[in-house]
Amino acid sequence: MPRTLDGQITMEKTPSYFVTREAPARISAMSKDTKLIVVVRDPVTRAISDYTQTLSKRPDIPTFESLTFKNRTTGLIDTSWSAIQIGIYAKHLEHWLRHFPIRQMLFVSGERLISDPAGELGRVQDFLGLKRIITDKHFYFNKTKGFPCLKKAEGSSRPHCLGKTKGRTHPEIDREVVRRLREFYRPFNLKFYQMTGHDFGWDG
């Protein structure tokens, strides 16, 4: 990471950090004062989205249903499949809490980032000790994508929306498979809500 002067904030993002076993110790060794921001979303939706992304690159992969189960008859979920494993947030958070106190971590709701981007980014600005500059007036909702877009990106006169890889239509998944996945994630979600002190409402 580059050296950061007083009054500056240096940021870096990688989706795989949160689920990489070695990351907490390495980041802590670099700087114990690092603030960590993690965007999380409903793990069932996240798994389907993950699958949709892979499917777009490799159309020949097996169905979501067949990858989800180790044994479909008994309903045993295959937790070795990364699309499923990543959503067990409580398990990943345990590794981070060995190196960082929870007060240095902010968990951003992926759902609220879509429904109320300014509100959720207000929490981010507060967490980083910044003045609340980003407000509702900076966003508009793109109906085609199903996501909010920045009205005007920094240094550009054009709006900025998420790239081509975001907002893909998800394949239709067997309802029973979705129900079984919700059942599987529920105890992990409840533990995660407890650990973070925040109910994300995925089990409503």
Q: Is 149 exposed, middle or buried (0-12, 13-18, 19+ CB in 10 A)?
A: middle
108: closest CA among 33, 36, 182, 8?
36
Gap between the Cα atoms of 41 and 47, Å rounded: 10
Asked if residue 33 is part of any domain, the answer here is yes
Residue 81 lies in a domain: yes
Task: Judge whether 181 lies within some domain.
Answer: yes
Is 38:106 a contact under the CB 8 Å cutoff? yes
Q: Is residue 112 part of a domain?
A: yes
Least confident residue range of 102-111, 130-139, 140-149: 140-149
Range of the domain at 69: 15-131+170-194
182 is an annotated ligand-binding site residue: no
What pLDDT was estimated at residue 41? 96
Can you give the CATH number for the domain in which 69 is found? Answer: 3.40.50.300
Considering the domain boundaries, does residue 25 fall inside one?
A: yes
Read off the pTM.
0.89
pLDDT tens figures, 115-138: 999 999 999 999 999 999 988 888
Residue 36 included in any domain: yes
**Across residues 14-25, what is the average pLDDT?**
94
Domain count, the chain: 1
In this prediction, residue 23 carries a pLDDT of: 96
pLDDT the model gives residue 156: 67
Asked whether residue 147 carries a pLDDT value surpassing 90, the answer given is: no
Q: Is the pLDDT of residue 200 over 70?
A: yes
Q: Is 170 annotated as a binding residue?
A: yes
**Binding residue per annotation — 54?**
no
Kindly report which listed range (23-27, 96-100, 191-195, 200-204) carries the lowest average pLDDT score: 200-204
Residue 168 assigned as binding residue:
yes
Residue 29 maps to a domain: yes
**Residue 156 resides in a domain:** no
The yes-or-no verdict on residue 153 having pLDDT over 70 is no
Average per-residue pLDDT in the chain?
A: 91
122 in a known ligand binding site: no
**Res 144: pLDDT:** 74
166 is in an annotated binding site: yes
Q: How far apart are CA 152 and CA 195, in angstroms?
A: 37
| pLDDT confidence of residue 2 | 81
